A and B are shown apart, each in its own frame.
Chain A
Amino acid sequence: LAKTTQPISMDSYEGQEVNITCSHNNIATNDYITWYQQFPSQGPRFIIQGYKTKVTNEVASLFIPADRKSSTLSLPRVSLSDTAVYYCLVGDQYSGAGSYQLTFGKGTKLSVIP
């Protein structure tokens, strides 16, 4: 499984764009990159997933360079409610049946300041 490295914490003011970068130097050819968000005392919530270039949904954008050794989660104009832990996941185990076995690191704790 590819190991991921993310900053432990980040601070941002309301209304700013936040970019959280995750490095995954030994990502495998078939690995996808997935980001989850977790609020205190709640389960993680899927945000976005991508394989290469750029993916955008109603919540965030995911930028993946050509070498795929890193990825950047971009949150536009954050609000106080975006304060949470953000996890970058790469290369989860798949046995050919059932679903992926997700491997979480410690994530990045984002604090949005008024």
Chain B
Amino acid sequence: ETGVTQSPTHLIKTRGQQVTLRCSSQSGHNTVSWYQQALGQGPQFIFQYYREEENGRGNFPPRFSGLQFPNYSSELNVNALELDDSALYLCASSLANPLAGQNGDTQYFGPGTRLTVL
């Protein structure tokens, strides 16, 4: 158990709809990252939030957006859903330490939300 929770566990939507996925970070963590994992592929980075501001974005269109709240929980919003958005959506929390330099910190992943778009 990583202490990172996500809701809902499963979700079915139709093309064109909007969806909001939620993530509760591990206590004390200040950074949350979202990843999309298609079947048979590795997770792909969507974006990251650090202290409530977006801090880096992968190759995803603007209809993917997010929020991080003062308690460091987070939301991923996807508008105008497309069939290819069907995937496992993962959030990962970590305690960023810029003073650690190049020594990568450990990210703790939640169990994911399985989104199916019909």
Which of these, B44, B94, B103, contacts A104 with CB under 8 Å? Answer: B44
Count A-side interface residues using an 8 Å CB cutoff.
28
| CB proximity to B under 8 Å, residues A1-60 | 30-32, 34, 41-46, 49
Residues of A within 8 A of B33 (CB): 99, 101-102
Q: Which of A43, A46, A103, A107 contacts B110 (CB 8 A)?
A: A43
Please tell me if the beta carbons of A98 and B56 are within 8 angstroms of each other in the complex: yes
A30, B102: Cβ atoms closer than 8 Å: yes
Residue numbers in B under 8 Å from A45 (CB-CB) = 2, 109
By beta carbon, the residue of chain A nearest B43 is: A104
Closest to A94 in B: B102
Q: 1/0 contact trace for A83-114 toward B, CB 8 Å?
A: 00001000011111111111111110000000
- Who on chain B is nearest to A87 by CB? B42
A42-B112, A43-B2, A43-B109 as given contacts; A99 in contact with B102, CB under 8 Å: no
Among candidates B2, B43, B98, B103, residue contacting A96 with C-beta atoms closer than 8 Å: B98
Q: What sequence of 0s and 1s flags, for each residue 50-66 of chain B, a beta carbon within 8 Å of any chain A beta carbon?
A: 11000110100000000
Distance in angstroms from A109 CB to nearest chain B CB is 9
> At the interface, yes or no: B24 with Cβ under 8 Å from chain A?
no
User: Does A98 contact B92, Cβ atoms closer than 8 Å?
Assistant: no
Q: How far is the CB of B24 from chain A (nearest CB, A)?
A: 13
Q: Which residues of A contact B45 (CB under 8 A)?
A: 101-103
List B28-87 residues whose CB lies under 8 Å from chain A. 31, 33, 35, 40-45, 48-51, 55-56, 58
Closest Cβ of chain B: how far from A15's Cβ, in Å?
Answer: 27
Closest chain-A Cβ to B102's Cβ sits at a distance in Å of 4
Residue B90 lies at the interface, judged by CB distance under 8 Å to chain A: yes
Q: What are 17 A-B residue pairs whose CB atoms fall within 8 Å in the complex?
A: A32-B102, A41-B111, A43-B90, A45-B109, A93-B56, A94-B102, A97-B96, A98-B50, A98-B55, A98-B96, A99-B31, A99-B96, A100-B104, A101-B45, A102-B35, A104-B42, A106-B41
Rank and list the top 3 A-B pairs by shortest CB-CB distance, nearest first.
Answer: A43-B109, A104-B42, A98-B50
